[in-house]
């Protein structure tokens, strides 16, 4: 019953937001005497995206309405106010933004169809304009999908502009009469400038849209992966053992994410920052105890548990202080989920066997809400347990990895991550492969005689 009520509330919210959007944009279209077909397309887009097909990183209804409204206003300003040809509507930049922000080609395709219809409509129902804008925006989406450098975005815009020109040239002219004319050169200039300028505009406004929609793009992730970032520099100096642990977790996570087609760069960067909270009390974590006394021997299990669990909260506080993106903070809060602080839980049971300790010794959560966070959580546990193997043979590594993945699955820690059983099998094999490479045997070299 609770689920059905929640769904009804979501539907009501979507109807209210959608109704307001259609009212405002409808008035704009009426003032400019423009065809209403794009509004119908927006309605179909919202229904398709939210009800008929679940897209993993889909923006909210309000975000969809905002993005659609921006496209409508920009198109009207381009054609009606500035009197620029419909071929000059910067839809390429709009679709590049959508692709970079939400990392989903299906959503980009939906918006490519929308902006193509929109461009055709505001240009007086010009079919040729719609087809060329669709071809250009679709090419832009494909070329900008998961790019990692700014130059690749500029290149995507320019090439998309050329694709737009090619389609417009073929449609505008008789196929049997390909002779360049002043009109063709002018069309080439419009499409080329549109592509290059659109990409530049997308790059300029990308940080603003990242902040508004609370997402992180690959361009920003590369900046966060720089080890000169103040937080990573502190981690290297103040908790070197945790830093080395995070590097291995990052390698495991990246390989696993690649194996299932998830965002491997997001998984890697999330792994770099997932344990930054340990910097506040580094000597209380085993990976940083080289040459030091084990301080937990003199503490009660309940006190040790508080220190260990608190590294999540301290990590979040540090991340907010250094203004990390909320998507990176998710890795800090979710990589342990609701799992037990196992070692101290068993110590507490030994001291007080009659007492109930299980809930008290669990991390506060939440559980991993996306594939990348779930992968980092698995990699974190597997890396830690791999260090306890006395003889890390391939068979022992495989058994250990499968046990960890199975336990997390049975405990329900992966229920909200959208990982399938097929994904888990691929992730398991990826972890085994990387760990075998890390713990590979070496030849015993003979010592040099003095």
Which of the residue ranges 124-133, 171-180, 218-227, 374-383 has the most confident prediction, judged by mean pLDDT? 374-383
Using alpha carbons, list the distances in angstroms from residue 34 to 37, 41, 65, 133, 175.
Answer: 9, 14, 19, 18, 31
Q: Report pLDDT for 74.
A: 74
Q: Report pLDDT for 173.
A: 65
| Residue 97 in domain | yes
pTM of the predicted protein model = 0.80
Whether residue 136 is found in the same domain as residue 252? no
pLDDT bucket at 10, cuts 50 / 70 / 90:
very low
The residues, ordered by sequence, that sit 6+ positions from 190 with a Cβ below 8 Å of its Cβ are: 85, 87, 88
pLDDT tens digits, one per residue of 221-233? 999 999 999 999 9
| Alpha helices (H) along 77-126 | 91-102, 105-122
Whether residue 22 is found in the same domain as residue 166? yes
The range of the structural domain enclosing residue 170 comes to: 2-213
208, exposed or middle or buried, with CB in 10 Å at 0-12, 13-18, 19+? exposed
| Residue 445 in domain | no
| Residue 282 in domain | yes
Does residue 21 have a pLDDT over 70?
no
Q: Are 270 and 331 in contact (CB under 8 A)?
A: yes
Domain boundary among 158, 191, 213: 213
Whether residue 128 is found in the same domain as residue 224? no
pLDDT bucket at 18, cuts 50 / 70 / 90:
very low
Q: Which residues pair with 340 in a beta bridge?
A: 362
Domain boundary among 160, 186, 213: 213
Whether residue 181 is found in the same domain as residue 271? no
| Residue 347 in domain | yes
| Residue 447 in domain | no
Number of domains in the chain: 2
Q: Report pLDDT for 334.
A: 95
Average pLDDT taken over every residue of the chain: 81
| Residue 443 in domain | no
| Residue 74 in domain | yes
| Residue 193 in domain | yes
Whether residue 183 is found in the same domain as residue 259? no
Domain boundary among 175, 193, 213: 213
């Amino acid at each position: 019953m609770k689920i059905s009520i929640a769904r009804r509330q979501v539907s009501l919210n979507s109807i209210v937001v959608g109704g307001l959007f259609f009212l405002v944009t409808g008035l704009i279209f009426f003032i400019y005497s423009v065809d209403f077909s794009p509004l119908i397309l927006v309605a179909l887009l919202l229904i398709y995206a939210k009800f008929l097909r679940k897209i993993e990183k889909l923006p909210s209804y309000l975000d969809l309405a905002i993005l659609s409204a921006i496209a409508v206003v920009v198109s009207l300003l381009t054609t009606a106010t500035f009197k620029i040809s419909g071929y000059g509507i910067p839809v390429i930049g709009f679709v590049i933004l959508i692709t970079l922000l939400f990392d989903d080609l299906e959503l980009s395709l939906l918006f490519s169809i929308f902006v193509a219809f929109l461009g055709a409509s505001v240009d007086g129902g010009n079919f040729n304009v719609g087809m060329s804008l669709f071809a250009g925006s679709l090419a832009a989406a494909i070329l900008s999908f998961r790019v990692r450098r700014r130059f690749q975005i500029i290149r995507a815009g320019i090439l998309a502009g050329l694709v737009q020109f090619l389609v417009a040239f073929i449609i505008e002219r008789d196929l049997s009469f390909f002779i360049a004319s002043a009109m063709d050169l002018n069309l080439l200039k419009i499409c080329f400038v549109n592509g290059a300028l659109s990409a530049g505009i997308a790059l300029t406004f990308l940080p603003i849209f990242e902040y508004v929609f609370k997402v992180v793009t690959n361009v920003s992730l590369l900046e966060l992966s720089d080890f000169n970032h103040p937080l990573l520099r502190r981690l290297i100096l103040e908790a070197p053992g945790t830093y080395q642990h995070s590097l291995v977790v990052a390698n495991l996570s990246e390989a696993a994410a690649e194996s299932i087609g998830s965002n491997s760069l997001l998984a890697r960067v999330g792994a770099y920052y997932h344990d930054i909270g340990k910097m506040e009390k580094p000597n209380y974590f085993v990976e940083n105890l080289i040459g030091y006394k084990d301080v937990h021997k003199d503490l009660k299990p309940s006190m040790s548990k508080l220190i260990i669990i608190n590294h999540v909260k301290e990590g979040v506080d540090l991340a907010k202080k250094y203004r990390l993106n909320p998507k990176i903070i998710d890795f800090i809060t979710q990589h342990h989920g609701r799992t037990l602080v196992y070692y101290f839980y068993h110590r507490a049971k030994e001291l007080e066997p009659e007492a109930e300790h299980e809930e008290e010794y669990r991390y506060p959560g939440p559980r991993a809400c996306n594939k990348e966070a779930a992968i980092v959580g698995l990699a974190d546990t597997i890396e830690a347990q791999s260090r306890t193997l006395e003889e890390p043979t391939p068979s022992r590594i495989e058994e250990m990895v499968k046990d960890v993945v199975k336990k997390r699955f049975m405990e329900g820690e992966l229920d909200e991550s959208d990982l399938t059983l097929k994904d888990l099998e691929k992730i398991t094999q990826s972890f085994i492969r990387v760990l075998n490479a890390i713990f590979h045997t070496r030849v015993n070299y003979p010592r040099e005689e003095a």
